[in-house]
């Protein structure tokens, strides 16, 4: 084999390897499994995090992560409100175990509990929640805020939210916009 033919063969193989690698990179996707990445997508900043052409959204996993995040926020709010030091306090652990404070979901039904403190504040809480998750009121708002992403995410992942108060409960219907889209790529 001549030297020129070896050089041409080498460059042909090199170009093929680079071409196949670029082709594979083009069709690569990233699985989105965290609430943080979900919010980045909803606020238009996800593409800056990843240099891939498509994303595969794992809605059930994101829903779980969202609920854990919301649960942590609600418990921290209760700790701050009542001056408790940490979640390891025996009384706090019992309130969490009894689902008297916090967030959890059963399938596509979200539950928020705040069964401590003044039961008369339930009507205000319910009113604020209804207004906060209303899709029409969310249009045109600054979508970069954390509260906005929480409200949008509730509507994306759940059919309804049940508020559990000291003496009352209320069920607020939500939009559930990702129904039937598990594993979709965009």
Report residue 158's pLDDT band, with 50, 70 and 90 as the boundaries.
very high
**Structural domain count, the chain:** 1
Residue 33: inside a domain: no
Tokens of 23: 């082709």
Tokens of 159: 């059919």
Residue 67: inside a domain: yes
Query: Is the Cβ–Cβ distance between 79 and 92 less than 8 Å?
Result: yes
> Which tens digits make up the pLDDT trace of 27-80?
668 889 999 998 888 888 888 888 777 888 899 999 999 999 999 998 988 888
What's the confidence (pLDDT) of residue 142?
65
**CB count, 10 Å around CB of 156?**
21
Q: What is the pTM of this model?
A: 0.78
> Which tens digits make up the pLDDT trace of 90-127?
888 888 899 999 999 999 999 999 877 656 688 888 88
What's the confidence (pLDDT) of residue 22?
52
Residue 103: inside a domain: yes
Residue 142: inside a domain: yes
Residue 22: inside a domain: no
Tokens of 127: 């009113």
Domain of 88 in residue numbering reads as 60-173
Question: Does the CA dihedral 128-63-94-83 come out positive or negative?
Answer: negative
Cα–Cα separations (whole angstroms), residue 37 to 50, 57, 69, 168: 10, 10, 13, 35
Q: Is the predicted pLDDT of residue 170 greater than 90, yes or no?
A: yes
């Amino acid at each position: 084999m001549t030297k020129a033919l070896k050089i041409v063969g080498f460059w042909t193989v090199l170009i093929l390897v680079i071409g196949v690698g670029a082709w594979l990179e083009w069709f690569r996707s990233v699985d989105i499994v965290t609430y943080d990445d979900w919010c980045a997508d909803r606020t238009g900043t996800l593409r800056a995090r990843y240099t891939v052409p498509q994303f595969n959204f794992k809605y059930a996993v994101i829903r779980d992560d969202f609920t854990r995040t919301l649960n942590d926020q609600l418990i921290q709010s209760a700790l701050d409100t009542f001056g408790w030091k940490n979640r390891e306090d025996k009384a706090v652990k019992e309130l969490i175990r009894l689902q008297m404070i916090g967030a959890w979901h059963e399938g596509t039904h979200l539950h928020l509990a705040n069964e401590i403190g003044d039961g008369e504040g339930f009507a205000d809480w319910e009113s604020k929640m209804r207004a906060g998750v209303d899709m029409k009121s969310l249009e045109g708002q600054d979508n970069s805020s954390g509260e906005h992403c929480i409200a949008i995410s509730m509507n994306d992942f759940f059919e309804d939210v049940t508020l559990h108060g000291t003496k009352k409960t209320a069920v607020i219907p939500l939009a559930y916009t990702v129904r039937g889209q598990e594993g979709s790529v965009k």
